[in-house]
Protein backbone atom coordinates (compact mmCIF):
# COMPACT_ATOMS: atom_id res chain seq x y z
CA UNK A 1 0.00 0.00 0.00
CA UNK A 2 1.25 3.48 -0.87
CA UNK A 3 0.37 6.77 0.76
CA UNK A 4 1.39 9.02 -2.13
CA UNK A 5 1.12 6.78 -5.18
CA UNK A 6 -1.49 4.96 -7.20
CA UNK A 7 0.01 1.75 -8.60
CA UNK A 8 -1.96 -0.30 -11.11
CA UNK A 9 -1.25 -2.63 -14.04
CA UNK A 10 -2.98 -2.41 -17.42
CA UNK A 11 -2.01 -4.52 -20.43
CA UNK A 12 1.31 -5.51 -18.79
CA UNK A 13 2.15 -1.85 -18.14
CA UNK A 14 2.64 -0.88 -14.50
CA UNK A 15 1.43 2.70 -14.05
CA UNK A 16 3.02 4.54 -11.12
CA UNK A 17 1.03 7.72 -10.48
CA UNK A 18 2.39 10.34 -8.09
CA UNK A 19 -0.84 11.20 -6.30
CA UNK A 20 -0.43 14.62 -4.66
CA UNK A 21 -2.42 16.84 -7.03
CA UNK A 22 -3.04 19.46 -4.32
CA UNK A 23 0.76 19.98 -4.19
CA UNK A 24 1.25 19.57 -7.94
CA UNK A 25 2.67 16.12 -7.16
CA UNK A 26 5.74 17.56 -5.44
CA UNK A 27 8.45 15.12 -4.39
CA UNK A 28 9.04 14.61 -0.68
CA UNK A 29 11.42 12.07 0.83
CA UNK A 30 8.44 9.78 1.40
CA UNK A 31 7.27 10.05 -2.22
CA UNK A 32 10.76 9.30 -3.55
CA UNK A 33 11.05 6.24 -1.30
CA UNK A 34 7.63 4.99 -2.43
CA UNK A 35 8.58 5.39 -6.11
CA UNK A 36 11.64 3.25 -5.44
CA UNK A 37 9.54 0.58 -3.73
CA UNK A 38 6.97 0.54 -6.55
CA UNK A 39 9.75 0.27 -9.13
CA UNK A 40 11.25 -2.71 -7.29
CA UNK A 41 7.82 -4.33 -7.17
CA UNK A 42 7.28 -3.84 -10.90
CA UNK A 43 10.72 -5.05 -11.92
CA UNK A 44 10.29 -8.31 -9.98
CA UNK A 45 6.76 -8.99 -11.26
CA UNK A 46 6.89 -11.25 -14.34
CA UNK A 47 3.43 -10.03 -15.35
CA UNK A 48 4.81 -6.51 -15.86
CA UNK A 49 6.53 -5.83 -19.17
CA UNK A 50 6.98 -2.06 -18.91
CA UNK A 51 6.65 0.74 -16.35
CA UNK A 52 5.09 4.19 -16.82
CA UNK A 53 5.43 7.21 -14.53
CA UNK A 54 2.74 9.92 -14.49
CA UNK A 55 1.34 12.58 -12.17
CA UNK A 56 -2.22 12.75 -10.87
CA UNK A 57 -4.52 15.30 -12.45
CA UNK A 58 -3.98 17.40 -15.56
CA UNK A 59 -1.77 20.20 -14.23
CA UNK A 60 1.49 18.51 -13.32
CA UNK A 61 3.67 15.50 -13.87
CA UNK A 62 5.79 16.58 -10.90
CA UNK A 63 6.25 20.31 -10.35
CA UNK A 64 9.41 19.90 -8.25
CA UNK A 65 10.56 18.99 -4.78
CA UNK A 66 8.42 19.66 -1.72
CA UNK A 67 9.66 23.15 -0.75
CA UNK A 68 8.22 22.87 2.75
CA UNK A 69 10.54 19.93 3.41
CA UNK A 70 13.56 21.56 1.76
CA UNK A 71 13.10 24.64 3.93
CA UNK A 72 13.74 22.56 7.07
CA UNK A 73 17.06 21.04 5.96
CA UNK A 74 20.60 21.97 6.90
CA UNK A 75 23.67 21.17 4.77
CA UNK A 76 23.90 17.57 5.94
CA UNK A 77 20.17 17.05 5.50
CA UNK A 78 20.30 18.57 2.04
CA UNK A 79 23.03 16.18 1.02
CA UNK A 80 21.04 13.22 2.34
CA UNK A 81 17.94 14.38 0.43
CA UNK A 82 20.02 14.66 -2.75
CA UNK A 83 21.60 11.25 -2.31
CA UNK A 84 18.25 9.58 -1.63
CA UNK A 85 16.81 11.03 -4.84
CA UNK A 86 19.89 10.07 -6.81
CA UNK A 87 19.70 6.46 -5.59
CA UNK A 88 16.08 6.03 -6.63
CA UNK A 89 16.52 7.82 -9.95
CA UNK A 90 19.61 5.71 -10.70
CA UNK A 91 17.44 2.64 -10.05
CA UNK A 92 14.94 3.90 -12.60
CA UNK A 93 17.65 4.49 -15.20
CA UNK A 94 19.15 1.03 -14.69
CA UNK A 95 15.82 -0.81 -14.41
CA UNK A 96 15.76 -3.95 -16.52
CA UNK A 97 12.31 -3.07 -17.89
CA UNK A 98 11.63 -0.01 -20.00
CA UNK A 99 10.48 3.00 -17.95
CA UNK A 100 8.51 5.71 -19.76
CA UNK A 101 7.75 9.12 -18.27
CA UNK A 102 4.25 10.28 -19.24
CA UNK A 103 4.57 14.03 -18.76
CA UNK A 104 1.10 15.49 -18.30
CA UNK A 105 1.91 19.05 -17.22
CA UNK A 106 4.56 20.88 -15.20
CA UNK A 107 7.82 18.94 -15.21
CA UNK A 108 10.11 21.13 -13.16
CA UNK A 109 13.05 20.70 -10.81
CA UNK A 110 12.90 17.27 -9.23
CA UNK A 111 10.10 16.38 -11.63
CA UNK A 112 12.34 17.05 -14.61
CA UNK A 113 15.06 15.00 -12.92
CA UNK A 114 12.59 12.14 -12.41
CA UNK A 115 11.54 12.30 -16.06
CA UNK A 116 15.14 12.34 -17.25
CA UNK A 117 15.90 9.17 -15.30
CA UNK A 118 13.28 7.33 -17.38
CA UNK A 119 14.41 5.67 -20.60
CA UNK A 120 11.82 7.44 -22.77
CA UNK A 121 9.82 10.65 -22.29
CA UNK A 122 6.45 11.50 -23.89
CA UNK A 123 4.62 14.74 -23.12
CA UNK A 124 1.34 16.54 -23.68
CA UNK A 125 1.67 19.64 -25.91
CA UNK A 126 1.12 21.99 -22.93
CA UNK A 127 3.84 20.46 -20.73
CA UNK A 128 6.46 22.80 -19.25
CA UNK A 129 10.04 21.87 -18.43
CA UNK A 130 12.84 23.43 -16.44
CA UNK A 131 15.40 23.26 -13.66
CA UNK A 132 14.46 26.40 -11.70
CA UNK A 133 16.44 25.58 -8.55
CA UNK A 134 18.62 28.71 -8.84
CA UNK A 135 15.48 30.75 -8.19
CA UNK A 136 15.51 29.19 -4.70
CA UNK A 137 19.23 29.58 -4.15
CA UNK A 138 19.78 25.89 -4.99
CA UNK A 139 21.13 23.70 -7.77
CA UNK A 140 19.57 20.51 -9.15
CA UNK A 141 20.32 17.74 -6.68
CA UNK A 142 18.75 14.54 -8.01
CA UNK A 143 20.84 14.11 -11.13
CA UNK A 144 19.77 17.18 -13.09
CA UNK A 145 23.25 18.61 -13.64
CA UNK A 146 24.40 15.28 -15.06
CA UNK A 147 21.44 13.86 -17.01
CA UNK A 148 20.39 17.16 -18.56
CA UNK A 149 23.93 17.67 -19.84
CA UNK A 150 24.01 14.19 -21.35
CA UNK A 151 20.63 14.64 -23.01
CA UNK A 152 20.89 18.14 -24.48
CA UNK A 153 24.59 19.06 -24.29
CA UNK A 154 26.59 21.24 -21.92
CA UNK A 155 25.67 24.63 -23.38
CA UNK A 156 21.90 24.09 -23.35
CA UNK A 157 22.04 22.42 -19.94
CA UNK A 158 23.95 25.31 -18.42
CA UNK A 159 21.58 27.85 -19.96
CA UNK A 160 18.52 26.09 -18.52
CA UNK A 161 20.10 25.51 -15.10
CA UNK A 162 21.68 28.96 -14.71
CA UNK A 163 18.68 30.92 -15.98
CA UNK A 164 16.04 28.84 -14.20
CA UNK A 165 13.98 29.30 -17.37
CA UNK A 166 10.97 27.22 -18.33
CA UNK A 167 10.55 25.81 -21.84
CA UNK A 168 7.53 24.32 -23.58
CA UNK A 169 7.12 20.84 -25.02
CA UNK A 170 7.99 21.91 -28.56
CA UNK A 171 11.34 23.32 -27.42
CA UNK A 172 11.97 20.31 -25.19
CA UNK A 173 11.45 18.06 -28.21
CA UNK A 174 13.64 20.25 -30.42
CA UNK A 175 16.63 20.03 -28.07
CA UNK A 176 16.19 16.30 -27.42
CA UNK A 177 14.86 16.46 -23.87
CA UNK A 178 11.74 14.46 -24.79
CA UNK A 179 11.10 11.78 -27.39
CA UNK A 180 7.55 12.56 -28.46
CA UNK A 181 4.66 14.98 -28.05
CA UNK A 182 1.29 13.21 -27.80
CA UNK A 183 -1.16 15.32 -29.79
CA UNK A 184 -4.84 14.64 -29.02
CA UNK A 185 -7.22 13.70 -31.80
CA UNK A 186 -10.63 15.37 -32.07
CA UNK A 187 -12.64 14.73 -28.91
CA UNK A 188 -9.68 13.26 -27.04
CA UNK A 189 -8.30 14.88 -23.89
CA UNK A 190 -4.55 15.57 -23.72
CA UNK A 191 -4.06 13.12 -20.86
CA UNK A 192 -6.02 10.41 -22.70
CA UNK A 193 -3.84 10.94 -25.77
CA UNK A 194 -0.74 10.80 -23.60
CA UNK A 195 -1.74 7.59 -21.86
CA UNK A 196 -2.63 5.98 -25.20
CA UNK A 197 0.72 6.94 -26.71
CA UNK A 198 2.65 5.68 -23.69
CA UNK A 199 0.68 2.43 -23.51
CA UNK A 200 1.16 1.80 -27.24
CA UNK A 201 4.93 2.14 -26.99
CA UNK A 202 5.15 0.33 -23.66
CA UNK A 203 3.15 -2.68 -24.85
CA UNK A 204 5.26 -2.83 -28.01
CA UNK A 205 8.46 -3.03 -25.96
CA UNK A 206 6.83 -5.47 -23.53
CA UNK A 207 6.17 -7.85 -26.43
CA UNK A 208 9.90 -8.19 -27.16
CA UNK A 209 12.32 -10.60 -25.55
CA UNK A 210 12.59 -9.54 -21.87
CA UNK A 211 16.21 -10.59 -21.52
CA UNK A 212 17.16 -8.77 -24.71
CA UNK A 213 15.38 -5.63 -23.49
CA UNK A 214 17.24 -5.80 -20.19
CA UNK A 215 20.60 -6.30 -21.88
CA UNK A 216 19.92 -3.51 -24.39
CA UNK A 217 19.16 -1.08 -21.56
CA UNK A 218 22.33 -2.11 -19.75
CA UNK A 219 24.43 -1.73 -22.90
CA UNK A 220 23.12 1.76 -23.62
CA UNK A 221 23.00 3.12 -20.05
CA UNK A 222 26.23 1.59 -18.76
CA UNK A 223 28.05 1.84 -22.07
CA UNK A 224 27.34 5.54 -22.42
CA UNK A 225 29.24 6.17 -19.19
CA UNK A 226 32.37 4.42 -20.50
CA UNK A 227 34.81 4.94 -23.33
CA UNK A 228 33.58 3.67 -26.69
CA UNK A 229 36.08 0.80 -26.54
CA UNK A 230 34.79 -0.30 -23.12
CA UNK A 231 31.21 0.15 -24.27
CA UNK A 232 31.85 -2.07 -27.28
CA UNK A 233 33.32 -4.76 -25.05
CA UNK A 234 30.23 -4.61 -22.85
CA UNK A 235 28.01 -4.84 -25.93
CA UNK A 236 29.88 -7.92 -27.20
CA UNK A 237 29.61 -9.61 -23.80
CA UNK A 238 25.87 -8.99 -23.55
CA UNK A 239 25.35 -9.97 -27.20
CA UNK A 240 27.09 -13.25 -26.45
CA UNK A 241 25.01 -13.85 -23.33
CA UNK A 242 21.86 -13.58 -25.45
CA UNK A 243 22.90 -16.79 -27.22
CA UNK A 244 22.63 -18.68 -23.93
CA UNK A 245 18.94 -17.78 -23.52
CA UNK A 246 15.82 -19.68 -24.48
CA UNK A 247 14.38 -16.40 -25.77
CA UNK A 248 17.07 -16.10 -28.44
CA UNK A 249 16.42 -19.64 -29.66
CA UNK A 250 12.67 -18.98 -29.64
CA UNK A 251 13.04 -15.66 -31.43
CA UNK A 252 15.22 -17.02 -34.23
CA UNK A 253 13.07 -20.14 -34.60
CA UNK A 254 9.90 -18.05 -34.78
CA UNK A 255 11.46 -15.87 -37.47
CA UNK A 256 12.34 -18.95 -39.54
CA UNK A 257 8.87 -20.40 -39.00
CA UNK A 258 7.17 -17.07 -39.80
CA UNK A 259 5.25 -17.03 -36.54
CA UNK A 260 5.02 -14.77 -33.52
CA UNK A 261 7.61 -15.66 -30.84
CA UNK A 262 6.49 -16.76 -27.39
CA UNK A 263 9.18 -15.27 -25.16
CA UNK A 264 9.51 -16.52 -21.58
CA UNK A 265 12.15 -14.17 -20.21
CA UNK A 266 14.85 -16.79 -19.82
Q: Which of 8, 113, 186, 225 is catalytic?
A: 113
Report the run of H or E that residue 262 belongs to, with start and end. Answer: none
Cβ contacts of 163 within 8 Å, gap of 6 or more: 134
Nearest to 41 by CA among 86, 85, 97: 97
Q: Strands 13-18 and 50-55, how do they pair? A: parallel
- Residue 204: Cβ within 10 Å count: 12
Per annotation, catalytic residue among 133, 186, 199, 235: 133
User: 104: which residues sit within 8 A by CB, 6+ positions away?
Assistant: 54, 55, 57, 58, 60, 61, 123, 124, 127, 190, 191, 194
Cα 182 to Cα 24, 102, 123, 137, 157: the distances in Å are 21, 10, 6, 34, 24
Assess whether 133 carries a catalytic annotation.
yes
Residue 113 falls in the annotated catalytic set: yes
- Residues labelled as active-site residues: 113, 133
Amino acid sequence: MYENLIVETTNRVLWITVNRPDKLNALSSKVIAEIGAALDEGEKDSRVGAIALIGAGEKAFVAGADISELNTLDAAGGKRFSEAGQRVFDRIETCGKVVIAAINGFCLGGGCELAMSAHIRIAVPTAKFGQPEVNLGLIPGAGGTQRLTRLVGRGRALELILSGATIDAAEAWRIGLINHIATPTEGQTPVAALRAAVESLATMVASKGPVAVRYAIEAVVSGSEQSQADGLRLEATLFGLCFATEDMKEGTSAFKDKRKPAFKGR
